[in-house]
Homo-oligomer: A and B are copies of this chain.
């Protein structure tokens, strides 16, 4: 189904009815509203002006549209900040981040927690049982503009409390953080300072705890909003719109109280945000890299309920990347269908009409500022028509391949990269790309998730292996491919006594004795499989024979039973060879190689193909297939769907 984000407060009230009618005509079912409207709802402390929002919801409802109501906490109004300046967040440099844009709050402020509860209560109690309201979005894009980690007095106070609860005694902190190292011992919890603004780096265990604390503050805050909504709005869903390539808090933990996860998909902007090569950026500038949408669909779908929404879908050029391309004609339609193929329930475009004013005036909408349907709007309308003809989409199944995604791994490797291009996000994405190039569907799961349904489990980056994660690996019969640095850290950001891979030695009898981060340039690996390693290399002590070795004869890949260990950052050639010729056969999986611009995805009995390239692609054995969309030859920026 289609949705759209709408801001009635931005437009004359006499435009609303025509807007609603045109939404319905385009095939839209859901309209998200209200998430930035606090100053218009409560223009002064305690004085509420509900009238316009009442009428807006009424207008949309009368047009047959369902409303998703966003709590307005991403934009506290000026008067609130003036009353309670302790709401404001602080940068790592110790300066306050002030009013004037959005997300100007720290999760640590007790005042903010209370005031948030008050406004959510007000929203939820007024609209909780409104028949037009189908569900809720909490806040908007937690963490956007680098707002998870705040470094102010409220944060320090809350952190000390968190430590007190976690460690009980200052001695326990000294032990856990290794404070003996540079005479960093604390004698009381009040001795703990924020781990910033120091002469050189602070203890990594302290910084990891600060990140865990900050992430848990988000969890607690989202739980608060969700609980209030559920109290007043029975039968409605609660979700939150996550972002792309953003891992500053534990989305798995936040999602535990949600009905499903949502995310905001800006495939072109993300081409500039991810560390692609300039060649890749040039090639994919107007279509997106073919794994950017899928990577996130497959990350967010398994988070809650094996379903998800795209809450914001790019409809044309955006305004926030270094360069902002116009999508290749066809892509606005393609991205919507691809989300649906990956299991989305709703694809909601951002936004109905391009705003002529404000910070995002260069961000396209389904309509131009002159009340005319935009290029992207026409593509969305085509999706609307196609969906109407298509009939209901089948249920999402389970993929054959799981990829373990750990938010803590992102924090640990960012706190201690050891080599400046060791990027967790890139490593994970490249492993995803490798398995998708071989035609497989993927479920990205949290460490500790049940892995028994999978035939292949990829573990690209898991420095700290928790007991739950270990148990899940033990209980599956899948082939398991483990990447470098796995098990290299304890809970307290220390070396395990037995060296890496730590608890994974239960499956992989080997020890990592030395590691090198490598300057740009690749090392050759050869043996049963071959290719290149760059960025990272480990030296191993083991009795296992090597599946492949480096040029100096040292082991590069080791196998034991259904576990395979990669000692370095495998380039695409090595990773592809290893998967295709060793691990997939052992897993009983047969790859379907697709060109680098085509991706396949199954939903129930349907198979979809998406072509990100300019060249067309011919579906193999097309004659035997029944096409529901497109046909045997899939043009660039086009798609096909057939029954399996």
Contact = CB atoms under 8 A, between A and B. Distances in A.
A416 B356 CA distance: 13
A348 interface: no
Given A358-B182, A498-B370, A202 B101 contact: yes
Contacts of A191: 78-79, 82
B358 A181 contact: yes
A45 to B, nearest CB: 10
A274 to B, nearest CB: 14
A358 B99 CA distance: 38
B43 A357 contact: no
A277 interface: no
Interface string A177-193: 11111111111000101
A326 B519 contact: no
A515 B198 CA distance: 41
A185 B325 contact: no
Contact of A282 (B36, B103, B183, B521): B521
A424 interface: no
A537 B286 CA distance: 13
Contacts of A619: none
A183 B39 contact: yes
A616 interface: no
How many copies the complex holds: the figure is: 3
Contacts of A285: 519
Given A357-B493, A499-B368, A181 B36 contact: yes
A411 interface: no
B495 A369 contact: yes
A311 to B, nearest CB: 17
A495 B319 contact: no
A36 B282 CA distance: 51
A38 B493 CA distance: 24
A362 B181 contact: no
A40 B359 contact: no
A418 B184 CA distance: 42
A343 interface: no
Contacts of A204: 358-359, 361
A98 B282 contact: no
Interface in A487-516: 492-499, 511, 513-516
A199 B147 contact: yes
Interface in A360-393: 360-362, 364, 368-370, 374-375
A199 B145 contact: yes
Interface string A119-154: 000000000000000000000000011010000000
A324 B517 contact: yes
Nearest to A82: B191
A392 B373 CA distance: 65
A187 B39 CA distance: 10
Contacts of A203: 100, 357-359
B36 A182 contact: yes
Nearest to A369: B495
A187 to B, nearest CB: 6
Given A97-B197, A374-B514, A419 B324 contact: yes
A3 to B, nearest CB: 21
Contacts of A621: none
A543 interface: no
Cβ-closest 6 pairs across A and B? A178-B357, A181-B358, A356-B495, A39-B183, A75-B183, A100-B198
Given A319-B418, A374-B513, A375-B514, 18 more contacts: A36-B182, A40-B183, A74-B182, A100-B195, A102-B182, A177-B357, A181-B358, A182-B359, A282-B521, A324-B418, A324-B419, A356-B494, A357-B492, A361-B495, A362-B416, A368-B499, A369-B499, A374-B514
Interface of A: 9-10, 36-40, 43-44, 72, 74-79, 82, 89, 93-104, 144-145, 147, 177-187, 191, 193, 195, 197-206, 281-282, 285, 316-317, 319, 322-326, 354-362, 364, 368-370, 374-375, 416, 418-420, 492-499, 511, 513-521, 537, 539
6 contacts: A39-B179, A181-B359, A282-B519, A324-B419, A370-B497, A370-B498
